[in-house]
């Protein structure tokens, strides 16, 4: 089961690190050290946004060696369902937030002989602690970091200064793009590929890697898809005997939580599979927005990932 031991933290610093990216420094309210984490881990931040509970995952970008604070970076996404705009416009230094324990769904493979990191935009964050730890241990890595413009991209100058020969930056506004086919075709055996960035970029890179013959075991990604909005729908929770209404800009999981039902989750982005729930009855169509279920499982209509997936129709009953 998921361990949901939440902690209260105080926002001790906010810094605008790029055009639409703010970095938040969080310290525990009770003055205790932060829990240990390994590079690649994320936390889930709970926020009361206009009376509605939101829980968004953010990669930890602070040093795993520093037990006194966590740092995360948040890209402000206009016209999204919220969360990022709330973090940007409402949260101020001194405010209190609730965060989860760190969860790592994007760890560095310790047996890798070489690590290839590809970041797009705010997807740089998990690679910052990864590079720090690998650099200390003498691990081999390279970072390919794509940004829209120099003012839109965060931390590119710091990373270039820290690891001068191992960080390559492609600035879209300056007309430069990485040729991922060229990059992936000659990587030595034993290289692991890690991608964090927009979904299209991730799919593009993984398609190239698979076509070239990269082993599935060497491909790693982190993708924090915001739960898509959609028409409101009603769901019956069989085990807890409740009926809930999922609002337009709310996920099924968030609605379940609002009803006071403790459901399992880890990534809240349709990737990890932790929240997989059995569908007991449905008359309509499940909109599968996850990237976890297989095509057969989708077709069977017996499973749903409540963190991102929705339903159109009547009589959805799930086992929660």
Partner 1 sequence: MAIKSRPIYNGFDLEMPAQRHIFVLEGEGALALLEKVNPSHPMLGQSEILYSPVGSSHEQAIVKLNAANFFTAPSSEILLNRFAAILSTATMSTRLYAAGTEGFIGAAVNVAARYGVKSASIVKEHRGSLRRRVQCVHCKGFNSDITASPFHCEHCKLYLFVRDHFSTRLNAFQGVCVNAEEPHLFPEPVELYQ
Q: What residue ranges bind partner 1 (CB under 8 A)?
A: 111-114, 184-191, 209-218
| 90 vs 185 by CB, closer to partner 1 | 185
| Min separation Cβ 193 and partner 1, Å | 8
| 79 vs 137 by CB, closer to partner 1 | 137
| Min separation Cβ 221 and partner 1, Å | 16
| 118 vs 209 by CB, closer to partner 1 | 209
Q: Can you list the positions of beta strands (E) in 29-140?
A: 41-49, 52-59, 70-75, 96-99, 103-104, 114-120
| 173 vs 215 by CB, closer to partner 1 | 215
| Min separation Cβ 243 and partner 1, Å | 40
| Min separation Cβ 212 and partner 1, Å | 4
| Min separation Cβ 296 and partner 1, Å | 18
| CB neighbour burial string for 106-115, b if at least 16 within 10 angstroms, e if fewer | bebeeebeeb
Residue with tokens 């593009």: 204
Strand arrangement, sheet containing 233-237: 242-246, 233-237, 310-318, 277-287, 303-304
Q: Are 268 and 55 in contact (CB under 8 A)?
A: yes
Q: Are 230 and 251 in contact (CB under 8 A)?
A: no
The encoded tokens of residue 112 equal 């890798």
| Min separation Cβ 112 and partner 1, Å | 6
| 70 vs 180 by CB, closer to partner 1 | 180
| Backbone torsions φ then ψ of 174, nearest 5 degrees | -100, 10
For 79, counting Cβ atoms within 10 Å of its Cβ (0-12 exposed, 13-18 middle, 19+ buried), the class is: exposed
| 127 vs 214 by CB, closer to partner 1 | 214
Q: Are 112 and 187 in contact (CB under 8 A)?
A: no
């Amino acid at each position: 089961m998921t361990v949901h031991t939440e902690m209260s933290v105080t926002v001790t610093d906010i810094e605008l690190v790029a055009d639409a990216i703010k970095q938040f420094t969080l310290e525990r309210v009770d003055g205790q050290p932060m829990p240990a984490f390994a590079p690649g881990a994320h936390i889930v931040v709970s926020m009361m946004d206009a009376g509605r509970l939101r829980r968004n995952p953010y990669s930890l970008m602070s040093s795993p060696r520093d037990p006194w604070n966590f740092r995360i970076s948040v890209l402000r996404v206009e016209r999204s369902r919220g969360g990022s705009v709330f973090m940007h416009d409402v949260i101020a230094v001194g405010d209190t937030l609730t965060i989860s324990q760190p969860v790592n769904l994007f760890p560095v493979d310790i047996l890798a002989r070489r690590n290839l990191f590809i970041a797009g935009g705010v997807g740089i964050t998990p690679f910052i602690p990864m590079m720090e730890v690998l650099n200390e241990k003498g691990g081999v890595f390279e970072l390919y970091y794509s940004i829209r413009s120099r003012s839109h991209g965060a931390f590119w100058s710091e990373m270039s200064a820290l690891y001068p020969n191992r960080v390559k930056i492609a600035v879209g506004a300056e007309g430069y793009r990485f040729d991922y086919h060229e990059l992936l075709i000659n990587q030595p055996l034993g290289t692991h590929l890690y991608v964090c960035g927009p979904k299209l970029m991730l799919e593009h890179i993984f398609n190239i890697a698979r076509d070239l013959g990269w082993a599935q075991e060497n491909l790693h990604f982190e993708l924090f898809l915001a739960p898509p909005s959609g028409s409101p729908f009603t769901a019956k929770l069989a085990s807890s005997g409740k009926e809930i209404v999922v609002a337009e800009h709310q996920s099924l999981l968030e609605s379940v939580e609002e009803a006071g039902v403790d459901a399992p989750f880890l990534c809240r982005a349709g990737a990890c599979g932790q929240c997989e729930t059995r569908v007991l009855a449905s008359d309509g169509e499940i909109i599968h927005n996850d990237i976890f279920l297989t095509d057969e499982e989708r077709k069977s209509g017996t499973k749903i990932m409540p963190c991102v997936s929705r339903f159109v129709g009547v009589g959805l009953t799930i086992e929660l």
